[in-house]
Amino acid sequence: MRVLFVCPVTIGSGETITSIHFAEDLLANGHDVAFIASRFAEGFVGAAVPVPVDVLSEIGSDNFRLWRRAVADFAPDVIVFADYPLMFFPLGVVPLASVPGWVDSLTELDARLVTLDHFGFAQGQRTLFLGPPQLGLGMLGLPALPDGMEVLLPCPMHEPGPVDGRLGQPFRYWDVPFRLPRGLKEQTRSRYLAGEDALLVFYAVPNWAWRYAEHHRITLYDHMPELLADFFAGYEKPVTLVSVNNGRLFTGGGDPSLRIINLGPCPKADFEALLFAADLAITDNKLSISIGKAICGFQASAVLKNSFSVLELQDRAEGTAREVVRRMERARMGSVFPFDAFPTVTPKDVEQIGLYRDNGLPEGFLEVEVFGGPETREKLLSLASDPVCRAEQRARQEIYVERLGRLPTGEAVLRGVC
C-alpha cells in the first residue's frame, strides 16, 4: 500500500504526532509512506520517520500546485488527512482547503480518502461557537465530508467500544500499555532532577493555546507559576515541573520551593519520554491528546479546569487564586470564565463537540479547579504521592486500556479499507 499523509496544521502538534505513529506502523509492515505537511508539522515528521515530505507554504495557489504534483508523483492508494475538518479552520492551518477548486479536485482522485477524527469534528456538517461570547473567539463551520471519505477514530481519545450514532472506525496507533525502553525513564529523570526522591511534574502547553491566550490578552499563564507553587506548597520533597511550551511561558513569580523548567517544542520521542518518566502529568486542556496518551502508560494524570464565573469566584476563591482572578480581570475584563480546554473551549463546548459522550477515557484522569486553592492542592498532592489514590486511578485507566488493546491497528484498518 502507498499511503500519503496530509498534515497542514501550523499551531498544534497532536494530530501530526498521531499521523507519525500511524506511519511508523505502516512502515514496519512494509508499506510506502509520504507526507504533505506545513513547515511546523514537517519539523516533527522529519525528526521521527525517514519518509519524503513535501512542505506546504502560506500561499494557497502554490500549495494547490504542490498537492497536484505530490499526488501525481507518489500515486497513493490511500490519502490520510490528519484531521480533515481542521483544514477549514480560519486560523492555525496553511491554505489549501480554502483554495477554489481544491475540494472539487478530490473527486478526480483514484486514491481512497480517509480522515482521522480526533475530537468529533468529522461527525457531520455543523456550526460550533467556541469560547465565551464576550471574547468573540469565533464560529467554526465544520464541513461535510467528501463522498466516500472514511473516518478513523484514534484511540486514545475516542471510546474504543461501540457508541450509538458515532461515525467511523476506532483504532489504536501503538501497543498498550505503553512502556519506556529500559533505562530511559531513569535517564530522563536524572536530566531534570537533583535527587532520586524528588517529584517530577510534566505540564505541556500546546502552541495554539498560548498563542490564543496571548492574542486575546487572557493572562492566566502569566500567573501560573504562582498557582503551581500554591498547589505544591508544603510538599516534603523538592518539586521540579517541566513544561513543554514556547520555551519561556512560565517565568517569574512562583516560589523557590518549586523549580520550573520551560522547554520549546521537542521531538516526539523526547516529549513522550518526559510524559511517561514524570510522577504526575497535568494539563489545562481536557481534550488533550497527550493526556489520552498518558493514560495508555498508566501515568498519574490531572486536568486543570475552571467551572465558575468571575462573580462566583469572588465568593469561592481565596488566597493566591483570588488575587490571580483579580489581576486577570484587571488586565482584560471578561477573561475569567468557565473552561475545559484553556483558553478557547468551555464545558458547554465540550458537550456540543460530543467527544466524551459515552466515553470511558475521562475516568482515567482527575479533574481539579485551577482556582480551587487548598482543595486543589490536597487533590494534586494525593495523586502525586498517595499510593491508594494512585492505585484507584490506575484501576480506572486499566479498564480503558484493556478495551483499547482489543482494537485493530491503523495498518489493519487501512488494509480493510483498501
Gap between the Cα atoms of 57 and 8, Å rounded: 9
- Identify whether the C-beta of residue 128 lies closer than 8 Å to the C-beta of residue 89: no
Stretch 230-241: mean pLDDT, rounded?
91
| Cis bond before residue 343 (omega within 30° of 0) | yes
Gap between the Cα atoms of 327 and 253, Å rounded: 14
Stretch 199-214: mean pLDDT, rounded?
94
Gap between the Cα atoms of 10 and 180, Å rounded: 28
pLDDT tens digits along 12-63: 889 999 999 999 999 999 999 999 999 999 999 998 999 999 999 999 999 9
Q: HSE-up of 41 (CA within 13 Å, CB side)?
A: 28
Q: What is the pLDDT of residue 139?
A: 75
Confidence bin at 142 (pLDDT 50/70/90):
confident
CB burial of 79-92 (b: ≥16 within 10 Å; e: otherwise) equals bbbbbbbbbbbeeb
Residue 108: Cβ within 10 Å count: 8
pLDDT tens digits along 163-198: 999 999 999 998 999 989 989 999 999 999 977 778
Confidence bin at 129 (pLDDT 50/70/90):
confident
Q: What is the mean pLDDT of the chain?
A: 94
Taking 60 as the threshold, does the pLDDT of residue 254 lie above it? no
Gap between the Cα atoms of 394 and 363, Å rounded: 10
Stretch 81-108: mean pLDDT, rounded?
94
pLDDT tens digits along 295-338: 999 999 999 999 999 999 999 999 999 999 999 999 999 999 99
What distances in angstroms separate CA 173 from CA 26, 176, 314, 321, 336, one per listed residue?
10, 9, 45, 39, 37
Residue 28: Cβ within 10 Å count: 10
What beta strand segments (E) does 168-244 contain? Answer: 169-172, 199-204, 239-244
Q: What is the pLDDT of residue 137?
A: 62
